[in-house]
């Protein structure tokens, strides 16, 4: 019973990004999403990293169905961060990216929701060790939460900065 509850919680956590991405789409164009904070990643880079990870995990799940547990997940760059130049950042379509995140997440949720509990205990090679499907998905959720927290902090900072600028302009 405990494992089923953990599995249900994991699926709910995976579904969560769909809702967060949808919420982000309503505020994202009002902030400088391509601007890199000092020593950090821009909002667009964070979102690209999230999208890349979920797309690769989706690919691993598809390969798992085709090739079995013999795939080595070390050959996939699941959690590599995306880094862009200024030009590449400005070339990104943020609304389209958020839509892609939502669509990929819908497919991922659909696939894992239909899997029996034993599926999540399957072990995949990771160089000299192994990792379960559950552990990969859990790591994805942890990394996404970190990215979403960073994005939320940037959005709040940009909004506060804009409000401060308005207040200064109003006093002149």
Task: Give me the pLDDT at residue 48, please.
Answer: 93
Number of H helices, E strands in the chain: 5, 2
Domain total of the chain:
1
Reported as a pLDDT band with limits 50, 70 and 90, residue 135 is very high
- Given a contact cutoff of 8 angstroms between Cβ atoms, the answer to whether 133 and 119 are in contact is yes
Please tell me what DSSP assigns to residue 126: E
Give the pLDDT mean for 50-67: 92
Give strand pairing partners of 124.
131
For 64, counting Cβ atoms within 10 Å of its Cβ (0-12 exposed, 13-18 middle, 19+ buried), the class is: middle
For residue 65, the domain's CATH number is 1.20.120.450
Residue whose C-alpha is closest to residue 68's, from 122, 134, 137: 122
Range of the domain at 36: 2-171
Distance separating alpha carbons of residues 20 and 25, to the nearest angstrom: 9
Q: Please spell the DSSP secondary structure of 17-31, one letter per residue.
A: HHHHHHHHHHHGGGS
Query: In this predicted structure, what is the pLDDT of residue 172?
Result: 62
Q: Which residues sit opposite 123 in a β-bridge?
A: 132
pLDDT tens column, 61-106: 999 988 888 888 888 989 999 888 878 887 888 889 999 998 999 9
Instruction: Determine the pLDDT at residue 2.
Output: 61
- Taking a C-beta distance cutoff of 8 angstroms, is the pair 100, 51 a contact? yes
Q: What is the residue-averaged pLDDT of the chain? A: 86
Q: Which residue(s) pair with 58 in the sheet?
A: none
- Phi-psi group of 83: left, alpha or beta (phi > 0 → left; psi -120 to 50 → alpha; rest → beta): beta
Q: What is the share, in percent, of the chain residues with pLDDT greater than 70?
A: 98
**Which of the pair, 166 or 81, is modelled with greater confidence?**
81
């Amino acid at each position: 019973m405990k494992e089923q509850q953990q599995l249900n919680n994991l699926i709910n956590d995976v579904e969560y990004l769909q809702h967060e991405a949808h919420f982000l789409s309503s505020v994202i164009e009002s902030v400088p999403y391509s601007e890199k904070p000092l020593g950090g990643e821009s909002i667009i880079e964070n979102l690209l990293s999230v999208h890349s990870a979920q797309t690769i995990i989706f690919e691993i799940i598809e390969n798992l169905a085709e090739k079995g547990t013999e795939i080595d997940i070390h050959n996939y760059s699941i959690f590599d961060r995306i880094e862009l130049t200024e030009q590449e950042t400005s070339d990104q379509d943020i609304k389209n990216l958020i839509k892609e995140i939502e669509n990929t997440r819908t497919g991922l949720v659909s696939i894992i929701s239909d899997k029996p509990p034993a599926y999540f205990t399957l072990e995949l090679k990771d160089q000299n060790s192994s990792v379960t499907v559950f552990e990969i998905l859990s790591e994805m959720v942890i990394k996404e939460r970190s990215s979403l927290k960073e994005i939320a902090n940037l959005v709040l900072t940009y909004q506060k900065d804009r409000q401060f600028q308005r207040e200064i302009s109003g006093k002149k």
